[in-house]
Structure 1
Amino acid sequence: MPQQTQITPVNSNDQTDANVVSISNTKLYVLDTNILLHEPLAFTSFKENDVVVPMTVLEELDYIKDSNKDVARDARVSIRAMEDLLHDATPEQMLAGVSMSGLGAGENGPTGALSIFADLLMPDNQQIFTSNENDNRIINVALHLQVKLAPRQVILVTKDINMRLKAKGAGMGLVEDYRRDQLISDIKYLCKGYHVFEGNFWEKVQLVESHTEGRDTIHNIPRSVLPEAYINEFLIDETRQFAGIVESITSNSLEVLDLGYERLMSRRAWGISPKNIGQAMALHSLLDPHIDLCILTGPAGSGKTLLALAAALEMVIEKNMYDKIIVTRSTPEIAESIGFLPGTEEEKMAPWLAAITDSLEVLHKNDENTKGSMSYIMEKANIQFKSVNFMRGRSIQNAIVILDESQNLTASQLKTIITRCGEGTKLICGGNLAQIDSNYLSAVTSGLTYIVEKFKNFSGSATFNLDGVVRSRLAEFAEKEL
């Protein structure tokens, strides 16, 4: 039998009050459906505090789990996790609360209780919203508990901004977003992949030890020069006299490989050269076989897809370092069921991967027969278009995987794709955090933001924020002014 906590009904003779837990010093969190879709095990993340899941949330999860939506799997995972905890509980225990102790690891595990609130049984005179929309029913639960358990803190947790506004307008004192998945508080704090020194680099660095390894020059500089440095972070200065990359870090020093500003700008891949220093730094790591994960962020027109494709073609065809190129991306919800489109999987995905074919066309626009060149290169490089929904379960060996529009993926979805990469595979993730289409994500909760922060100290990854729009002066003006 599950362990029942001291969360007992206030009045067991009242059908409505039987759902209300007793006053406690801990907080009570009422979860919206989108929290469990965003992170299926979110109900275990509130430590010593109690969690209430309204029956309406279970109904929504039940509807979504059998749908073709990308979050259907997350709905099923959440339902199974709650069932594992509550399967031995009696109806009375489920309403009163079942302890979640033992679900987590060590001292960080939850010690509060999970309960189900039968909001369908609430009488009309206890509901602020009389319309039957699901959001309104969940808000009614939070408002009801806020009154019954005062002065205990009752908090509604939802990622729906409009729902937060409605709840506050209806009198809900505490309404929050789910922030456990946020590694940064604002997107402006996201790692850019490089650090720019004011003035001349050598004026900032007075103490340095340098040595050569073959043709490479390596500088050992004090850690105090850049205390927050991380592996594979580029170092440049405003005078364009120095460009280097952090190769290793100790408690007292940084080991910096001197790349040379002009040498960095002269890198080429598949006939293209970088148009700014940001592209040059990105291209350097894209062509580095020791970097397994390259993350490219930046606005539309900054060259993310073109650089990724050019580097991939260079390494697959010219250098014969990889066997194939796999291109995938998150698809809008309307396109998640690609079976309605005609043709093979590659043909079905083609409309959603037009950015790749557009970039191929740019790379071969000067050829005598552009269309023929594109067909030849796609066959020569073994370019495959795959749906991100079908990446689960695969093991991809010795390939370059280009994941476009990754800002629309959650951390768990990106984990699924990253863990598919086998020996000798390089993953390139590109995305624009200003163009998130998902209803459940923001710039700070996107999986792209999550992996930028999580992988910044991993020696096999590199991150770049491309902040210059090079597509056209029209695109550049639009990015700045609109």
Structure 2
Amino acid sequence: MVRKTTKSDTPAKRTPKNSKKIFVLDTSVILYDHNSIVNFDEHDVAIPITVLEELDEFKKGSDTKNFEARQFIRFIDKKAGEKDLQDWISLNGGKKGKFKVIMNPEPGEVDANKVFGGKKNDHLIINAALLLAKTEKTKQVILVTKDINLRLKAKALGLVAEDYETGKVKDLDSLYSGKSQIEDFNQDSIDKLYKEHSVSIDEIKKANKDFTPNSNHFYILKGSKSSTLACYNPFNETLDQLEKKSYCGIKPKNAEQTFALHAIANPDIKLVTLSGVAGTGKTLLALAGALDQRRDFKQIYLARPIVPLSNRDIGYLPGDMKAKVDPYMQPLWDNLKFIKNQYKEADKEYKQIDDMVASEKLLVTPLAYIRGRSLSNVIFIVDEAQNLTPHEVKTIITRAGENAKFIFTGDIHQIDTPYLDEQSNGLSYLIDKIKGNKLFAHVTLEKGERSELANLANELL
């Protein structure tokens, strides 16, 4: 029979909140951010030996998680030098705390293996943290993990457990949308936009004293008699009127799609993010806008991360590598087919798209296939970017060479990758960190245009 946990079994609860802390890191945190060990300020960090054993399983491979594992192992090895890893080792002189590796202890009064049944690595990590909390009575011991279930188990046994907060968007409700609707905008300003299509921001602000523009921000401006769509151009310091234009046969169906296509087609904007639920047209708009600029770039990449179903590696699937990845790429081919079908087979545009695919000027590929490449003179579209970590997004963008444009699309509420959520995924992180930069534009697409049935599902199910 499992014994009920008592307050005396949970020394972490008795520690003053303002005391120096010890953070126990789970494997999920390290695979998310190999620099996590140095992100706890003056506090100490403990690494269960079980975590090192799990990292050993991840060190081989070309995925980001393999890179994170290798980098962390190298960091620990370099910092330790000739020192004993079971002793506290300084992370960065007096500026940071210390770290050490904690071994698997003999089960104490509370044994996670007995409580939850079965000898699992998660239970060994909990037991190690429990013993540390019992022996380090002057410090608060906190288990840090991105595994929700592990946090719940730890809390059930009296441990303080937290998510890893670095890189998370603090307030999802205030995440930058890239667009605003302004009522009672000066009608004379709107009339001038219709007449001249571009008006200096100083003149706009004189007539609209509360108007504060942001770089590449989009506006629905409503006056007393008419309304218009506009965007602030930070390069010319003007408010530019926008018109609905077709790109490769795709015409925007609402203001948001007009904004998105303008951002994609604007040569001064080098980084674009589009977020929205299924059916809002994110991928289709990105591809149509990119194809319309095919003469300005050497190549167009359309990529997405492969997230295997049921957490099984794609190696389990039948066929060669192409056969394994094709099902994951099919949504991208579907969007390309939709654009082709805007033309007749005899049209030159139809043949041009086929020729681009055949010559690999348009390349549909898994994201992992482009790692390590320098990307110059290309448009690079990353679909399903919400399934990337912040580090993966940074790694992709740092591959940008001359005349490169990057477009990230995704639905931040539909996460298929373990240990990521709406606040910690790479797309949310990118939108939050880069907003306001003149090289960047973002649009949150809210109105579904796929079908009435799709909209019904998004709204009610």
Taking the TM superposition and a 5 Å limit, the aligned residue runs for 1:212-361 are: 216-220=198-202, 221=205, 225-226=210-211, 229-238=213-222, 241-248=227-234, 255-259=237-241, 263-264=242-243, 266-316=244-294, 320-333=295-308, 349-361=325-337
1:27-38 aligned at under 5 Å gives the runs 27-38=21-32
Instruction: Provide the C-alpha distance between the structure 1 equivalents of 2:358 and 2:77, rounded to a whole number of angstroms.
Output: 49
Per the TM alignment, residue 365 of structure 1 is displaced from its structure 2 partner at its CA by 2.4
Aligned to 1:60: 54
The CA distance in 1 between the partners of 2:111 and 2:20, in whole Å, is: 25
Counterpart in the other structure of 2:137? 150
Question: What is the SS of the residue equivalent to 1:242?
Answer: strand
In terms of mean alpha carbon deviation, does 155-164 or 24-33 score higher?
24-33
Q: Kindly indicate whether the alpha-carbon contact (under 8 Å) linking 2:272 and 2:441 is maintained by their aligned counterparts in 1.
A: yes
Q: Match for 1:122: what amino acid?
A: E
- Report if the CA contact (8 A) 2:329-2:366 is conserved: no
Within a 5 Å distance, the mapping from 1:331-480 to structure 2 comes to: 331-333=306-308, 349-369=325-345, 373=351, 375-376=354-355, 378-379=357-358, 382-480=361-459
Matches within 5 A, 1:96-245: 96-102=87-93, 110-119=95-104, 121-123=105-107, 125=109, 127-130=111-114, 131-172=118-159, 174-182=160-168, 184-197=169-182, 199-202=183-186, 216-220=198-202, 221=205, 225-226=210-211, 229-238=213-222, 241-245=227-231
Contact 1:395/1:422 (8 A) holds in 2: yes
The answer to whether the 8 Å contact 2:229/2:255 transfers is no
Opposite residue 148 of structure 1, the aligned amino acid is T
> Quick one: structure 1 residues 340 and 63, their matched pair in 2 at CA, closer, same or farther if it must change by over 3 Å?
same
Q: 1:407 to 1:83 in 2, by over 3 A?
A: same
C-alpha separation between the residues in 1 aligned to 2:407 and 2:428? 14
* Alpha carbons of structure 1 residues 273 and 380: separation in structure 2 relative to 1, 3 Å: farther
Distance 1:32 1:425, change over 3 A: same
Aligned-partner Cα distance in 1 for 2:75–2:58 = 16
Q: Which runs of 5+ in 2 are unaligned?
A: 1-17
In the alignment, structure 1 segments of 5+ residues that lack a partner are 1-23, 103-108
Q: Distance in 2 between matches of 1:153 and 1:202?
A: 58
Task: Give the SS at the match of 1:78.
Answer: helix
CA distance in 2, matches of 1:214, 1:466: 28
Post-superposition shift, 1:127? Answer: 2.9
Q: Is the 8 A contact 1:190 1:453 kept in 2?
A: yes
* CA distance in structure 2 between the partners assigned to 1:322 and 1:84 by the alignment: 43
Match of residue 105 from structure 1: none
* 1:95 CA displacement: 1.8
Which letter maps to 1:74?
Answer: E
Distance 1:110 1:71, change over 3 A: farther
Residues 391-429 of structure 1: per-residue CA shift (max 9 Å, x gap): 222112211111111111111111111111211111111
Distance in 2 (CA, whole Å) between partners of 1:341 and 1:422 is 37
Deviation at 1:178, TM superposition (A): 0.7
Indicate conservation of the 8 Å contact 1:29/1:157, yes or no.
Answer: yes
Query: What is the deviation of 1:128?
Result: 4.1
In 2, the alpha carbon distance for the partners of 1:338 and 1:233 equals 44
Correspondence 1:83-98 to 2 at 5 A = 83-90=77-84, 94-98=85-89
Distance in 1 (alpha carbons) for counterparts of 2:379 and 2:178: 21
Amino acid at match of 2:201: H
- For residues 300 and 376 of structure 2, the distance between their equivalents in structure 1, rounded to whole angstroms, comes to 11
Task: Using the TM superposition, name which of 152-161 and 360-369 deviates more.
Answer: 360-369
TM-score, length basis structure 2: 0.85
Shift of 1:460: 1.1
Q: CA deviation at 1:369?
A: 3.9
For 1:452 and 1:417, the matched residues in 2 are separated by: 15
1:48 and 1:379, CA in 2 relative to 1: closer, same or farther beyond 3 A? same
Say whether the 8 Å CA contact 1:286–1:294 is kept in structure 2. Answer: yes
- After TM superposition, give the deviation of residue 214 of structure 1 in Å: 8.4
Question: Within 2, Cα distance between the matches of 1:171 and 1:401?
Answer: 48
Shift of 1:273: 1.0
CA distance in 1, matches of 2:364, 2:179: 32
2:66 to 69, 72, 76: 72
- The answer to whether the 8 A contact 1:46-1:110 is kept is no
Partner SS, residue 412 of structure 1: helix
**Post-superposition offset of 1:188:** 1.6
| Paired AA for residue 293 in structure 1 | L
The offset of 1:217, in angstroms, is 2.3
Greater alpha carbon shift after TM alignment, 274-283 vs 149-158: 149-158
The DSSP-based 3-state class of the residue aligned with 1:243 is: strand
Q: Answer yes or no: is the 8 Å Cα contact 2:329–2:365 preserved in 1.
A: no
Match of 1:401, SS state, is strand
Q: How high is the TM-score relative to the length of structure 1?
A: 0.81
Distance 1:166 1:67 in 2: 31
Task: Provide the rounded CA distance (Å) in 2 between the counterparts of 1:160 and 1:101.
Answer: 28
What per-residue deviation string (whole Å, max 9, x for no partner) do you get for residues 218-268 of structure 1?
2322797255x531111223566133222339xxxx944131xxx52x211
Q: Which amino acid aligns with 2:221?
A: D
Q: Is the 8 A contact 2:332 2:364 kept in 1?
A: no
Q: Percent identity, please.
A: 32
Q: CA deviation at 1:335?
A: 7.9
- CA distance in 1 between counterparts of 2:95 and 2:173 reads 32
Considering Cα pairs closer than 8 Å and 6+ residues apart, tell me whether 1 or 2 has the greater RCO. Answer: 2
